[in-house]
Structure 1
Amino acid sequence: MTPIRIGHLYGNLLNTYGDNGNLLMLQYGLKKRGLDFTVEVNSLEESFKANQYDLIFFGGGQDFEQKVVSDHIQTKKDELEKYIESNGVLLAICGGYQLLGEYYLSAKGDRIEGTHLLNLYTLNQVNSRFVGDVEIFSDEFNETYYGYENHNGRTFIKDPVKPLGRVIKGYGNNNEDKTEGARYKNVFCSYFHGPLLVRNPHLVDRIIDKVLEQRNQSTEQGTKLKQIIDPTSV
């Protein structure tokens, strides 16, 4: 098997709260399975194609850096949409989560445009943040996840986007609807820092399983296409 290609989207700009630990956990999980991988930062200087990566990590940062990314990511939007809609696996934390949506309001109330790739939006709070330990339950996977949140944003998700989990303890997306994070196709989003995957190694396995499923499906589709073009080739 060729190495699994991991892309760290704007990794030189969005890397606060130690969330790069999620990348380390993904690498650890891949090594445990004996799987080779490559990791590269895809930022302001790099182009982006939908078939470039098998797994993308999109972290969070301060408002200034997120505004820079908000402006630039529009140049990658079309290919990123192709990646998501073709079931590419993506993990987004905090600011990356917000930027996949329609827009978010900064702490100062400025509107920062997202990519409009997920059906969600984020409002701000005045002189307040959601901070503390969180526990959620995923009905999709029948699993409990633990984390730590520290965010000003109040995110509201809409169909077809579903929550990553139901809030058992803590604030979650907005402290109103008892949701935390978001799930759409093979996209996983969360406000969990800590980092998320360090405290939830079972979620590491789920994400890697999704990557391998996609790799297998792509191989099968490629084989079928090759047979159609040249029936004698297989």
Structure 2
Amino acid sequence: MIQTIAPRSLTLGHLYPDQLNLYGDRGNILTLQRRCQLRGINLRIVGLGVGDALAPDEYDLLFIGGGQDKEQAPVAQDLYEMKGIGLWAAIEDDMPVLAVCGGYQLLAHYYRPAEGPDMRGLGVFDAWTIHKGAQTPRCIGDIALRWNDQTLVGFENHGGRTYLGTTPPLGRVLKGSGNNAEDGNEGAVYRNAFGTYLHGSLLPKNPHFADHLIELALRRKYGQGTSPGEPGSLNGQFHPDTEDDHTSSPELQSDLASSLLTPLDDRLEWEAHASILERLGLHTEAAAALRNARDAVNVSLALS
């Protein structure tokens, strides 16, 4: 008897797709969808607008993008009153959540705009945001940060300054402003929830981070392989601080083979990543990204 293996599937909840959609943030959704499709994973996208409740058991990933202050006020109220309990339950159950810019701010304790009352956040991140007024320059431009032993790149454009309490940052700024242009932190992390100011959009230029979110969702749903944080759990990510060519390494091949995700040919993605690093004068990091582009092809061919 031939046993058929059911295809893997995930459901992504896209919070406020009509209100919070600045600076190409929808490209993050398209990237997740495409990278799943190339691996035979069905990613269903469900929009959650104002007035919609969030039932955590119906989703495997959540995304919330950025918007202007005038759009954030009604969203902040709805997020707190309609979706807060469900979102908290999802996050405490280790559901992967990506929150960009305005969405990031609304998952902290509060956002204090330049004018008007504070907007209450959910307090997922022990953080708060203050807009210091038009006299304070915006944090705008290309940005690169150190995430674990790799780099993340993107574009930031925010007037608010975010300050962290006990919550650890997503990464440390290499070039750019980050949370507040003062302390070198960028973003925030709580369990599998990630807040960041990186637009640009984030996931098309950072395939390793996109795959990290997908694999977290797969491991949570299907319970396969190693736990997040164990060797090999990040889809065979390459370590650009290491100079050796790892494509023939038995250890790396083993890590990749045990991953839930088949390696893809990410040459274009890594070249786009490297171009931002070059523009920022981060030549060593750009060279590492180009090695990733080469290695992605070699490993993809080796495992095909």
Structures share a fold, TM > 0.5? yes
Deviations 1:153-210 (A, max 9, x none): 1111222x21111001011001111011111111111101100111111111111111
- C-alpha distance in 2, partners of 1:19/1:122? 20
Partner of 1:162: 168
1:74-129: CA deviation from partner (whole Å, max 9, x where unpaired)? 22111111100110110000000000010011232531111122211101122121
1:34 counterpart SS class: coil
Are residue 107 (structure 1) and residue 123 (structure 2) matched? no
Matched, 1:129 2:135: no
Contact conserved, 2:124 with 2:190, CA < 8 A, in 1? no
Given that 2:24 and 2:200 are in contact with CA atoms closer than 8 Å, whether structure 1 keeps it comes out as yes
CA contact (8 A) 1:4 1:35 kept: yes
- How far the C-alpha of 1:58 sits from its partner, in A, is 0.4
> RMSD value over aligned CA atoms?
1.4
Aligned with 1:182 (options 188, 196, 209): 188
Instruction: For residue 177 of structure 2, give the secondary structure of its aligned residue in structure 1.
Output: coil
Alignment partners' CA distance in 2, 1:27 and 1:109? 38
Q: What is the match of residue 12 of structure 1? A: 18
Q: Quick check: 1:151 aligned with 2:176?
A: no
| Runs of 4+, deviation exceeding 6 Å | none
**Which letter maps to 1:130?**
C
Larger RCO: 1 or 2 (CA < 8 Å, sep 6+): 1
Deviation at 1:215, TM superposition (A): 0.9
Amino acid at match of 1:151: H
Under a length normalisation based on structure 1, what TM-score does the superposition of the two structures give? Answer: 0.88
1:171-210 alignment, distance < 5 Å = 171-210=177-216
User: Is the Cα–Cα contact under 8 Å of residues 144 and 153 in structure 2 kept in the other structure?
Assistant: yes
What TM-score do you get using the length of structure 2 for normalisation?
0.68
Partner residue of 2:147? Answer: 138
The one-letter amino acid paired with 1:137 is R
Query: C-alpha distance in 2, partners of 1:182/1:211?
Result: 19
1:120 aligns with 2:127: yes
**2 CA distance for matches of 1:106 and 1:82?**
28
Partners of 2:150 and 2:54 in 1: CA distance: 33
| 8 Å Cα contact 1:109-1:124 kept in structure 2 | no
Q: Distance in 1 between matches of 2:172 and 2:50?
A: 35
Gaps of 5+ in 1: 219-234
Is the CA contact (8 Å cut-off) linking 1:84 and 1:186 kept in structure 2?
A: yes
User: What SS class does the counterpart of residue 151 from structure 2 fall into?
Assistant: strand
Corresponding residue pairs, total: 215
Are residue 88 (structure 1) and residue 109 (structure 2) matched?
Answer: no
Q: Looking at secondary structure, tell me which structure has more helix per residue.
A: 2
Structure with bigger gyration radius? 2
Name whichever structure is richer in strand by fraction: 1
Q: Which moves more between the two structures, 91-100 or 73-82?
A: 73-82
Deviation at 1:34, TM superposition (A): 1.2
Q: Which runs of 5+ in 2 are unaligned?
A: 1-6, 225-304
Q: Is the 8 A contact 2:125 2:188 kept in 1?
A: no
Counterpart for residue 224 of structure 1:
none
Identity of aligned residues (%): 40
- 1:201-232: per-residue Cα shift (whole Å, max 9, x none)? 111111111111111239xxxxxxxxxxxxxx
Aligned in 2, Cα 1:2/1:34: closer, same or farther, shift over 3 Å?
closer
